[in-house]
Amino acid sequence: MTYIKKMFGFMRPYMFPYCVGTFLSNSQSFVFNFLIGLVGSRVMAGAVAGDTNSITMGILLTLGVFAGLLALVGLGRYLQHHTRLLAVMDLKQKLFRSFMQRGLESSQSSHSGEGIAAINTDADVAQRIYAYSLSPLVGPVIATALSSVTLFIIDLRLGLVAIGLGAFAFFIQSRFFKPVAEIGKQRLESNAEAVKHISDIYQGAMSIRAYNMQEKTLERASSSMGSILLLDFRRAFISMWQQLFTTIQGWFALIATFGFGGWLVATGQLDFPLLLLALPLFEGITSDMGRIGEAVSDMQPPIEAAKRVFAIIDNAPASEDRGSLDFDGSALHIKDLNFKYQNAEDNTLFDINLDVNVGEMVAFVGESGSGKSTILRILAGFYEREHLGMTLGGTSSEAVSIAAWRQKFAYVDQSCKLFDMTIRENIALGRKGNADDDAIITAAKQAYAHDFIEGLDEKYNSPCGEKGASLSGGQKQRISIARALLKGSPILVFDEATSALDRESERYVMDTIESLRSSHTILITSHNLAIITSADKIVVMDKGKIAETGKHDELMAKKGVYYELYNVNSEDFEL
């Protein structure tokens, strides 16, 4: 019930039209059964009395009620469908927001296919709680209640027998609840695995072809698809038995109705016209209670899907209610910073203390895994900031929202992530509000990207393709830098921004970084010696600690860790 309640939390704004629609579309069973009994009794009474007018009026009444019933049922189903779509949209938007609120480590530790499966499959299956499962549950409940009251009025004994048979039918169906729930859970898990394989095929297309992994990849995908197929077979087998029991129960109810009802008529305890009215109600009660069991069974997979959806929503970090960050030009300070990644045994950073003055370019150097990129990512707001001892402009990182902190940093790394949009749209993402063409072009010129963009057929409207597939590495990186500049942050972070570029592209990016030194504070890691040696301050990292700080000449004169790094073969160490 917990997850049903949570799902209906998204239906709350639309509850009134949903309830009206559910009642209208599901009261048809009782109305139909009652009408058949009423018309049948009138027609039989007219036939016995030779009154053709009664027969004619009964048929006309039936047609009139059927027409009205059809209109009401149509309205009810429209209201149900409309409110369901609105509730599912709210659910998916909440799911999207939960993904956005997740920390970087949480996002990186899970496969992208899990998120795709949660939004495209799990959420759609979960909404069947009020789309395809709860509605068939409410309908029989309403019909059973109305039919029972009417049947009790006609004859208490018939009502009790009908409810007894219906309870037995529900008991039989309840035996299927647990296996159906387990199959639903396994199917969702198998579907998520299948989506992961499809995602890997797209993201690893070059590696799959380079290592002739097509057959292995196909085997993995086929294994997941085969698991789904086997689970569907098991579910179909259970459904066959459920329907078989429902059919047998319906036959038995019909026999019991005629036998017991006939005995009541034969002994003078019930009038024959009332028996005709009671017959469809009796059958309706027994069959509807069986359908209640089927509906509860059908709800098990949506409940399992809801568990998966709310495992993401409920574990998303709460929205922050902290102050804004007014940057007054003061320095960036780090004091006694220690940091450990999730599930890691040891710290990655130990007792980091550092001051960065406004307008400085600070380069971080060290062996791979020394912690230099981790520092930059912490500063850029990618990881938990509690108790990290960082202040900017005299304001602690703990006192402001993560969005306010991140707004002061523009981050560019070697992956130069672009989205499947135009160049204009990708650059414009850097600004929180709308960015006009002049601002976009100015940022592109600062990043030395304007000239090559103008040389494209569609210029700024040229599509980038997924992950920037339509552009070269250098072009993608310059667009990434333009996007960072458009953000307007006072501190620029370049994390190996030139490591994947050719010489010419690297020169463009280096010129861009050099031109920005007069207007920004720059934090950088790079393998390029020209950038490192020209930095105002070099921070030398060694096994998660700051080993040395100073300018290039000062550090070379010390002949310490930096001196060794500088002179060691670049294949073994990065600068």
Read off the pLDDT band of 575 (50, 70, 90): very low
In a domain, 370, yes or no: yes
- The structure tokens 């149900």 sit at 80
Instruction: Provide the token pair at 109.
Output: 């530790």
Q: Is residue 412 scored above 50 in pLDDT?
A: yes
In this structure, the answer to whether residues 260 and 343 fall within a common structural domain is no
At residue 277, the pLDDT reads 72
| Residue ending a domain, choose from 313, 334, 366 | 313
Q: How many Cα neighbours within 13 Å face the side chain of 447?
A: 28
3-state SS, residue 568: coil
Give the structural domain span for 342.
Answer: 322-404+523-575
pLDDT of 573 over the 50 cut = no
DSSP-assigned letters across all residues of 244-262:
HHHHHHHHHHHHHHHHHHH
Picking from 279, 313, 347, the residue at the C-terminal end of a domain is 313
The whole-number pLDDT of residue 205 equals 66
Is residue 410 in some structural domain? no
Q: Is a pLDDT exceeding 50 seen at residue 570?
A: no
- Specify the pLDDT at position 190: 81
Question: Looking at 313, 342, 374, which one is the last position of a domain?
Answer: 313
Torsion sign, CA atoms 77, 80, 82, 88: negative
Q: Are residues 250 and 328 in the same domain?
A: no
511-565 pLDDT, tens digit each: 778 888 888 888 988 777 777 888 889 999 888 889 999 998 888 888 888 888 8
**Based on the structure, what is the number of domains in the chain?**
2
User: Which element (helix H / strand E) includes 420?
Assistant: none
Taking only the tens place, the pLDDT of each residue in 137-188 is 666 777 778 778 877 888 888 778 888 887 887 888 778 878 888 888 888 8
Q: Is 336 helix (H, G, I), strand (E, B) or coil?
A: strand
Q: Do 200 and 255 lie in a common domain?
A: yes
Question: 263 and 389 share a domain?
Answer: no
What is the average pLDDT across 214-230? 77
User: Is the residue at 374 inside a domain?
Assistant: yes
Residues 177, 225: one domain? yes
Residue 503 covered by a domain: no
Distance of CA 328 to the CA centre of its chain: 39
pLDDT at 459 over 80: yes
Q: What is the CATH number of the domain that holds 381?
A: 3.40.50.300
Residues 57 and 161 in one domain: yes
Whether 571 has a pLDDT exceeding 60, the answer reads no
Is residue 328 domain-shared with residue 308, that is, in the same domain? no
**Is 262 found in the same domain as 362?**
no
3-state class percentages of the chain: helix first, strand second, coil last, to nearest 5: 65, 10, 25
Task: Give the CATH number, domain containing residue 40.
Answer: 1.20.1560.10
Q: Are residues 281 and 335 in the same domain?
A: no
Q: Which residue has the higher pLDDT, 33 or 283?
A: 283
One domain, residues 237 and 266: yes
Who's near 339: CB < 8 A, 6+ residues apart?
347, 348, 349, 374, 378, 383, 388
The answer to whether residue 228 sits within a structural domain is: yes
**Does position 295 have pLDDT exceeding 70, yes or no?**
yes
Rounded Cα distance, 440 and 108, in Å: 31
pLDDT for position 5: 81
464-516 per-position pLDDT tens digit? 877 777 788 778 888 888 888 888 888 888 888 776 666 777 777 787 788 88
pLDDT of residue 111: 61
Average pLDDT over all residues of the chain? 77
Whether residue 431 is predicted with pLDDT greater than 80 in this model: the reply is yes
- For the chain, helix (H) and strand (E) counts, in that order, are 25, 10
Kindly state whether residue 467 falls inside one of the protein's structural domains.
Answer: no
By DSSP bridging, strand 491-495 and strand 409-413 are parallel
Q: Report H helices in 380-422.
A: 402-406
